[in-house]
């Protein structure tokens, strides 16, 4: 049987840190989308706006899922 490396701790603290890191990256994506909306507002077509809305909505949903899980909701 193969042994796992010691650095693969999946305890509550490492899960909390992972969730924190994911939320930070989602925030970065949301900020980038808002800046992109501002930068290309005059030239963005309907498809471009749709894709930005889809990305933003997905980020919001993932953030919500992380918050719900953090508070013990399903």
44: left (phi over 0), alpha (psi -120 to 50) or beta: beta
pTM here?
A: 0.73
Q: What is the pLDDT of residue 57?
A: 97
Asked if residues 37 and 44 have their Cβ atoms less than 8 Å apart, the reply is: yes
Tell whether the model's pLDDT for residue 4 goes beyond 70. Answer: no
Residue closest to 33 by CA, chosen among 62, 54, 63, 61: 54
- Domain parsing of the chain, residue ranges: 12-70
How does pLDDT run across 31-44, given as a tens digit for each residue? 999 999 999 999 98
């Amino acid at each position: 049987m193969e042994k796992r490396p010691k650095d693969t701790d999946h305890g509550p603290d490492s899960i909390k840190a992972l969730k924190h890191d994911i939320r930070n990256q989602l925030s970065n994506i949301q900020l980038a989308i808002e800046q992109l909306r501002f930068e290309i507002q005059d030239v963005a077509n309907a498809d471009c706006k749709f894709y930005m809305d889809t990305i933003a909505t997905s980020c919001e949903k993932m953030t919500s899922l992380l918050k719900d899980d953090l508070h013990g909701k399903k």
